[in-house]
Amino acid sequence: MVLTIPLVALLAVVVVLLLRFKAVGAGAFVAVALFGFYLAHTGAADTVTQLVNAVTDALPGVTR
């Protein structure tokens, strides 16, 4: 569990670079999936969930 936070930061950088250079493919899928997986195991998971809930509540017609 010690590597969770640095790995999340590393994967976030990879995802940002993939988006920046418009790299799409299997590598991008794996990076984004791993980023989401590791982010869910950090203390930021509750904050992300609350943010997503707030955005979807603010948009009419969007269901969860």
Expressed as residue numbers, the domain containing 49 is 4-57
Judge whether residue 18 has pLDDT over 70.
Answer: yes
Q: Is 62 domain-assigned?
A: no
pLDDT band at 63 (very low <50, low <70, confident <90, very high): low
Q: Is 47 domain-assigned?
A: yes
Q: How many domains does the structure of the chain reveal? A: 1
Q: Is 25 domain-assigned?
A: yes
> By CB neighbour count within 10 A (0-12 exposed, 13-18 middle, 19+ buried), where does 39 fall?
middle
pLDDT of residue 28: 79
pLDDT tens column, 32-56:
788 888 888 888 888 887 887 888 7
Q: Is 50 domain-assigned?
A: yes
